[in-house]
Amino acid sequence: MKAIIIDQPGGPESLKIQEKPDLQPAPGMLTIDVAYAGVGYFEVLLSRGEFNAAYPMPLTPGLEVSGYVRAIGEGVEGFYVGQPVASMTLHDLGGFASVANVRPDLTVPLDQLEADLDLVTAAASIVNLTTAYLAIQEVHRIRTGDSVLVHAAVGGLGSFLGQMAKRLGAGKVLGTVGSHEKIKLAASLGYDELFLRTDFVEQTLRATGQQGVDAVFDPVGGSMRKQSLKVLRPLGQLVVVGNASGEEDVMHSFNQIWFSNHQFAGFTLGGYSDSNPVEAGKAAREVLNMLAKKEIHAEIQGVYPLEKAAEALALLENKNTVGKLVLKI
């Protein structure tokens, strides 16, 4: 089998492709022939060595894959060899390879969805779309008519957050972006309005009649965290879903949270699925059904061969992407 290996920190340039012995299914696991793997900013951070404590090197990156069941481990039921599937490899990684071991609870049989869904779209969507659904539905507990602001609104996660918020009943959905070119994508991604992150406080208050929003979803971090508090309504919630900026953590006074009537929450699909794998798997099936029925669409910028994984990560590192990138294995 072929696999991307990162054996030392160094950013996208540290990725190498190697031949390795084929994987065999462990008890309770599935082995799949990987057709496609989603590429996200998490892999950029992995390549820099920012998660060495949790994912020591050498490692094979990759959080989401699609392909066909190759072999079935002891004790696994409900799958058959050759079945088309999509899976979240959140805990064991290994998606950037021609063969991967995956957890059945986090694997969705694509032939059991309510409509057809191709392997490219499934691989590009399963992690971010599931994250968007759970963050909005289970963490924020959205109410019909809620107003929402999403940072990095046309990125891999943001491109789903806007659509999912609308799908789940949000009223006004706003987003921040880094360039004027990206503003043109507002309507196609569920946003009522997109504006530059440099003046998002003023623009958000203008768009909401100075009332602010019920929720801010922030995958960026850094200064965006504190600035976001200025646009929250009383009882509004800041939902932290990432730290793509790589900046140091932002500290905040609990007394200030108390006095301002604001709420803070955090969500990471990796941690949630570790303790709630069945619920995470059900959510993944739910959102892939939405995607298959075209209630939501995936914005895919490009599909790259496995050998060009470093090139794909470099695009993400330089913030030159819209939606998702995918590797063809």
Helix (H) or strand (E) holding 195: strand 193-196
Q: 95 with 39, same domain?
A: yes
Q: Which residues pair with 71 in a beta bridge?
A: 31
If you ran DSSP here, which 8-state letter would residue 52 be given?
A: T
Return the pLDDT at 247: 74
Q: Are residues 15 and 46 in the same domain?
A: yes
Q: What is the pLDDT of residue 174?
A: 97
Question: Can you read off the two tokens belonging to residue 240?
Answer: 């932290």
Question: Smallest Cα–Cα separation from 235: which of 266, 262, 270, 200?
Answer: 262
User: What CATH number is given to the structural domain containing 36?
Assistant: 3.90.180.10
The answer to whether residues 258 and 139 belong to one domain is yes
Single-letter code of the amino acid located at 15: L
CB-based burial label for 198 (10 Å; 0-12, 13-18, 19+)? exposed
CATH number of the domain bearing residue 172: 3.40.50.720
* Model pLDDT, residue 58: 93
DSSP 204-265: HHHHTTT--EEEEEESS-THHHHHHGGGEEEEEEEEE---TT-PPPPP--HHHHHHHT-EEE
First to last CA, the chain: 10
Give the end of a domain, one of 269, 289, 309: 269
**Any residues with CB less than 8 A from the CB of 162 and at least 6 apart, and which?**
148, 150, 153, 173, 175, 189, 190, 191
What does each of the 329 residues of the chain score in pLDDT, given as a tens digit? 999 999 999 999 999 999 999 999 899 999 999 999 999 989 998 999 988 888 999 999 999 999 999 999 999 999 999 999 999 999 889 999 999 999 999 999 999 999 999 999 999 999 999 999 999 999 999 999 999 999 999 999 999 999 999 999 999 999 999 888 889 888 889 999 999 999 999 999 999 999 999 999 999 988 888 899 999 999 999 999 987 777 777 778 888 888 888 999 999 999 999 999 999 999 999 999 999 999 999 999 999 999 999 999 999 888 777 889 999 99
Pick the last residue of a domain from 269, 285, 320.
269
181, 101: one domain: no
DSSP-derived letter for residue 21 is P
138 and 263 in a single domain? The answer is yes
Same domain, 169 and 208: yes
Do 164 and 251 belong to one domain?
A: yes
Tokens of 118: 């191709």
Residue 89 CA to residue 93 CA, distance in Å, equals: 5
Query: Residue 301 is part of which domain span?
Result: 2-126+270-328
Same domain, 13 and 28: yes
Which residue, 241, 269, 297, sits at the end of a domain?
A: 269
Query: Is residue 176 within 8 Å of residue 152, measured between CB atoms?
Result: yes
User: What local confidence, expressed as pLDDT, does residue 132 receive?
Assistant: 98
CB atoms within 10 A of CB 56: 9
Residues 239/241/244/245 CA torsion (nearest 10 deg): 20
Is 264 in the same domain as 169?
Answer: yes
Residue linked to tokens 């914005």: 299
CB 219 within 8 A of CB 225: no
Q: Are residues 173 and 98 in the same domain?
A: no
* Global pTM value: 0.94
Could you tell me if 25 and 61 lie in one domain?
Answer: yes
Sequence length of the chain is 329
* DSSP-derived secondary structure letter, 106: G
Shared-domain flag, residues 85 and 216: no
Task: Give the DSSP H/E element, type plus range, for residue 126.
Answer: helix 119-134
Pairing of strands 232-240, 64-72: unpaired
Rounded-to-integer distance, Cα 308 and Cα 147, Å: 40
Into how many domains does the chain fold?
2
